[in-house]
Chain A
């Protein structure tokens, strides 16, 4: 097939860029561990209230500046919905849904997860800036979807 010289240059440049992009993405994923939240833990969505750690949702101290935040999501609320976290704490957030699909997003941070019934989703983050953060549901879940919200206070 005849390919014009300029087109060859254009394609070599374009495909070269792609290779660079994908290498960057691949190295940061597999060498630096920056993977999207992909937790494979399953749970019975109807027994969330009696399955640890979701039988006692909330913040749990795991070590020096290390915390676990377990949150139960159901239409149309987050439990707990008012959380205080010390500044600089490394927090692993575990979420699961009791009913339909929800979203778990903290605008202004990179915390963003899908919450699906039957699965736990999980993500680790550090809250470096003090202040008040909003948690909201960013996946359609029914009539009260836009009313679902909770607060995180990061304190000194």
Chain B
């Protein structure tokens, strides 16, 4: 049955597009900073005009880890909510714009202090290194702005539910709300350390800072943050890709269950980033390692659902044999190909994550460049390639244009360039990390130590990969600018898949927010109460601020 093309309201489209433009601008600048880093690390290149490696590193981390992701996700989710539950009310849309401007002003503020060299404290803050107060205030504005946008989405969702009592909400709206709840709960930690510890301390209102407490609050946010990045990619995989290939979603209620499990198990796990730190007892570290491993379950569910969707589509097209369905997939369609390559990279990426989070194995790889390699597979390949794949229909849908065959071909090339570049860069990071090369460090041979000399060939390979990736960034920017301003006018679909089976009762039970948020809070209290009381009660004298860059 032919259905009318469901469009995102034009005013909502503007809001979503504004977010996407900031995101891709961040990609351009942050990607360039990344290129410079790999060149410096090769030992063959020095930054001109006394620019510090660590300024570039902070720029890269903040722009790509925080700005690109948060803006893309919020823009994408506004579009998804508007597409599936109807145009936003004027109030919700205004809330979205307020959030957008708060985040943009905050980003500009932080960027100013980073680029003027007043905040080379990297993306993870590193108290007692003390940045200019403006850096922390800017970041606080980014977080607060994202909350405001989240409230806009919650209000819209609540209104839909009120008008459709007893009905299951559209999957994309449910998933957007789950992701914003996760974000809201986890950013409380980083907001607490920034507002109550770092801002008063950098302004000189307080003299000293409790370093371990600030790190613990940071990592309480720092790990769920990666799920905040990943879940929108999963939204595309579950709810969009089946439609793109022409099939159906494997199971609506299992997709919802996977998201609820991510919400429950992604937050009380921050200690697995702090396994080698003093001041936290090994028992509590182990508790959080166990909780960390629980997120593997919804990841396994997602892997099954995706391949089940692919196989059932292929078989419906007459594929035979064990892997015949593989050939039936639309390999020439960049909307499918880019996210699919992202999924493949998630297999080694997830395996590396299990290694990092292990109680003792962490000792081998902690703070080595292996970890950098790991998250360049997860975030910078799986998530980013999925975001690119989503842009290929989202941007033309929002701008009222169509992607041409030539652009589709360029997008396929872009995906291949990205995969090759990342294989070089991330692969050599993994190997060098196993040999002990540290992360977050400029080029050094440590006085020609034999170990450091072993790393150099890998560091040159990283620069080769980084250069290929930068070509990939130029290609994606060409595509995005084309889709936004130059592609032919026309109608592009915002694909949303149907479930293979009709909605089940279970799906409705999964919208019992009081229950799930209550459980999240309970898990967080179990995982954090005792250690945090201990960190505060047995605190050493606090630290003054240092500016060592």
Query: Judging by beta carbons under 8 Å apart, are A44 and B293 in contact?
Result: no
* B521 close to chain A: CB less than 8 A: no
Chain B contacts with A in 249-281, Cβ cutoff 8 A: 250-251, 253-254, 257, 274-281
- Contact-size category for A: 35 or more
A14-B296, A45-B541 known; A143 and B257 CB under 8 Å? no
How many Å from the CB of B120 to the closest CB on chain A?
8
Q: Considering only CB atoms, which chain B residue lies closest to A75 in the complex?
A: B548
Pairwise interchain contact B358-A18, C-beta atoms closer than 8 A: no
**Subset of 13 A-B contacts with CB under 8 Å:** A6-B304, A25-B358, A35-B360, A75-B548, A99-B128, A121-B276, A121-B278, A134-B450, A136-B446, A138-B438, A140-B122, A145-B442, A147-B444
Residue of B nearest to A33 (CB): B282
Encoded as 1 (CB less than 8 Å from any B CB) or 0, chain A from 1 to 22 comes to 1111011001100110010011
A116 in complex: contacting residue of B211, B254, B285, B442, CB < 8 Å: B211
Q: Is the CB of A15 within 8 A of B543?
A: no
Contacts of A142 in B (CB 8 A): 54, 129, 546, 548-549
Let me know if B539 and A118 touch, CB within 8 A.
yes
C-alpha gap A101/B126 in the complex (Å) = 7
A139: chain B residues at CB < 8 Å are 367, 440
CB of B526 closer than 8 Å to a CB of A: no
Query: What is A's interface to B at a CB cutoff of 8 Å?
Result: 1-4, 6-7, 10-11, 14-15, 18, 21-22, 25-26, 28-30, 34-46, 75, 99-101, 103, 105-108, 110, 112-114, 116-122, 132-134, 136-147, 149, 151
Whether the Cβ atoms of A105 and B301 lie closer than 8 Å is: no
Contacts of A143 in B (CB 8 A): 52, 54, 120, 548-549
Q: Hey, which chain B residues are within 8 Å of A140, CB to CB?
A: 54, 122, 126, 440-441
- Shortest B402–chain A CB gap in Å is 37
- With both beta carbons as reference points, the residue of chain A lying nearest to B294 in the complex is identified as A18
Question: When the two chains form the complex, which single residue of B128, B441, B538 contacts A117, counting CB atoms closer than 8 Å?
Answer: B128
Is the Cβ of B435 less than 8 Å from the Cβ of A107? yes
Flag if B446 contacts A119 (CB, 8 Å): no
Given A1-B254, A29-B282, residue A134 in contact with residue B276 (CB < 8 A)? no
Determine if A1 and B253 form an interchain contact, defined as CB atoms under 8 angstroms apart. Answer: yes
Which residue of chain B lies nearest to A145 when distances are taken between CB atoms in the complex?
Answer: B441
A38 to B287, CA, bound (A): 14
Chain A residues lying within 8 Å of B129, measured Cβ to Cβ, are 100-101, 141-142
> A120–B83 Cα gap in the complex (Å)?
55
Task: Point out the residues of chain B lying under 8 angstroms from A15, CB to CB.
Answer: 297
Task: Judge whether A11 and B254 touch: CB under 8 Å.
Answer: no
* Contact residues in A for B442 (Cβ distance below 8 Å): 145-146
User: Given contacts A11-B300, A46-B541, are A118 and B211 in contact (CB under 8 A)?
Assistant: yes
Cβ-defined contact, B540 with A112, below 8 A: no
- Residues of B near A151 (CB, < 8 A) are 447, 449
A118 contact from B212, B293, B437, Cβ within 8 A: B212
* B278, A138: Cβ atoms closer than 8 Å: no
User: Residues of A contacting B285 with CB < 8 Å?
Assistant: 36, 38
Q: Counting chain A CB atoms within 10 Å of each CB, which of B257, B449, B540 scores highest?
A: B540
A13 vs B280: C-alpha distance when bound (angstroms): 33
B449 proximity list for chain A (CB < 8 A): 132, 134, 149, 151
B40 CB to nearest chain A CB (Å): 10
Tell me if B354 is interfacial: C-beta within 8 Å of chain A. Answer: yes
Contacts of B543 in A (CB 8 A): 45, 99-100, 117-118
Contacts of B443 in A (CB 8 A): 146
